[in-house]
Structure 1
Amino acid sequence: MTHRFDVTVYYEDTDMGGIVYHANYLKFIERARSDWVRGLGVDQNMLRDGGLVFAVRRVEADFLGPARLDDRLEVETEVLSATGARIELGQKIRSGGKTLFRAKVQLVAMDPAGGVRRLPAELRARIA
């Protein structure tokens, strides 16, 4: 299943030329991931209180075209794979049907001290 999340490019997201600053693409895909998890019915505050957090372990990013001030963007998120403690997602940012950015993001489940934790079975089932 593909999750979709809409973003509008604001002035604060751009450089002096009105083009989205490269690091902000990572912010856009982070917001989309948070919305995706929320859409699964997962309360990340409850997970954290129970000793489980997600951390980004790896990001492979391709910048394919510029997004500009006032553009309406759509961030697509899909699960590529999942194991006991790891989730790999594919994310794309599109505008007007054109892909501007794509990334593979590897998340790991961790305890607050930084140790790897297994994903709860219920969460693995929701992801699948």
Structure 2
Amino acid sequence: MIHRHPIRVYYEDTDLAGIVYYANYLRFLERGRSEMVRDAGISQVEMKAQGLVFAVRRVEADYLKPAHFEDLLTVETRCEALKGASFDMPQRVLRGDEVLLEAVVKVVVLNAAGRATRLPADIRAKLETILANDGE
């Protein structure tokens, strides 16, 4: 399943040159991942109440083309490589059909002590449903 989330570039997202400041793409990617998780039926509020949180362990990003003030972008997010305590989320930021950024984000589940822990069965099942629907 490819999840799509629209983002409008605001003035606050840009640098002195009028293009999106590179670090702000990380915020865009976070919004895309959060919306995909929410749409999959995973409540991060409920996870937190159980002493669990998602955390980003690694980000690999290729900045291909700049985005500008008032551009309408789309953040595409997928889920893959589901393991015991982690999974990868490949993401792209597009302006129309034009790919501006490609990234892979490794996400881990942490317990209240800040240690990696296995994905709970219910969350794993929801992520596996996303994986099963990949490409739709």
TM-score by shorter chain over 0.5: yes
Aligned to 1:15: 15
Alignment TM-score, normalising by the size of structure 1: 0.97
**Aligned mates of 2:112, 2:76 — CA distance in 1:** 29
Q: Which residues of structure 1 form unaligned runs of 5+?
A: none
How large is the RMSD of aligned CA atoms in angstroms?
0.7
Aligned residue runs from structure 1 range 1-128, under 5 A = 1-128=1-128
| Runs of 4+ in structure 1 over 6 Å off | none
Find the residue that maps to 1:45 and give its secondary structure: helix
CA distance in 2, matches of 1:50, 1:96: 40
Identity across aligned pairs (percent)? Answer: 49
State the shift of 1:112 in Å: 2.1
1:55-95, CA deviations, whole angstroms, 9 ceiling, x for partnerless residues? Answer: 10000000000000000000000012111110101000000
Q: Shift in Å at residue 117 of structure 1? A: 1.0
**Distance between the aligned counterparts of 2:96 and 2:16, measured in 1?**
23
Q: Distance in 2 between matches of 1:6 and 1:112?
A: 32
Deviation at 1:96, TM superposition (A): 1.8
TM-score w.r.t. the length of structure 2 is: 0.92
- Long gaps (5+) in structure 2: 129-136
Deviations 1:30-72 (A, max 9, x none): 0111111110111101101101101100000000000000000
